[in-house]
Structure 1
């Protein structure tokens, strides 16, 4: 009986840990063709976590980083890569947003919320960073 309880306890500990992937980014798929600007994309998708003022948030076991006054945005490829591939609790949007939309939202967050990075990200640069998606991921 003792052996059975020990095995049961071990199984209940080990099996769920194989399924839990809280630290890995998940995919958001579909298409958002009708969002015409970086500001519209931010307001529709990003602000629910990063807040309308870009201040980020803490709660429910996650810390959403502030975009306001964020020196990580100095290099435009950084936020583009995070948007394309996800990071931590942030899902990836490569299957949802096209290259122009990603460039537009990156340019928006890099020129708002106290950020003043004027160099623009080109959709062709986003295309080079884009991961190759399977048909199921698109």
Structure 2
């Protein structure tokens, strides 16, 4: 019977260290990108929005990343970008581990960053979208009057 106790006592310092790291205020949260305030940084161009919001996960070169159990899709050569509605939907609603930005970025900022992604990183889609296209895809916002 002493063997299970020995294994448990060896795990205790590891668990304690993990809990301390999880509670550390200096570490970034996984959903930190969702805490973007459109007014906090002058993000008028698609490149500005990408640099401040997107490139932390999708990388400066748009090639995405994979590791530690997470996958951040590449924009470079991504055939899903052919339909301009797809990236707008994902930015507005989130997808998988990506947070949503509906209400956190303006319609113009979303249109600008989607256009930037679709015309950068080797992509050459010419059907640019406008803020009104983004507004037309927004999901209804609950009013609490149900």
Band the TM-score falls in, shorter-chain normalisation? 0.7 to 0.9
Residue 82 (structure 2) aligns with: 74
Query: Greater RCO between the two (CA within 8 Å, min separation 6)?
Result: 1
Is contact 2:43-2:49 (8 Å) kept? yes
Q: Distance in 1 between matches of 2:143 and 2:70?
A: 30
Q: Match for residue 48 of structure 1?
A: 56
Q: Runs of 4 or more off by more than 3 Å in structure 1? A: none
Residue among 77, 95, 98 paired with 1:87 = 95
8 A contact 2:58–2:64 mirrored in 1: yes
Q: What is the TM-score when the length of structure 2 is the normalising length?
A: 0.70
Q: TM-score, normalised by structure 1?
A: 0.74
Task: Give the unaligned 5+ runs of structure 2.
Answer: 1-30
Name stretches of at least 5 consecutive residues in structure 1 with no aligned partner.
1-24
Greater radius of gyration (CA) = 2
Superposition map of 1:1-138 within 5 A: 28=34, 31-33=37-39, 34-134=42-142
Q: Aligned-pair distance for 1:74?
A: 0.5
Question: What SS class does the counterpart of residue 71 from structure 2 fall into?
Answer: strand
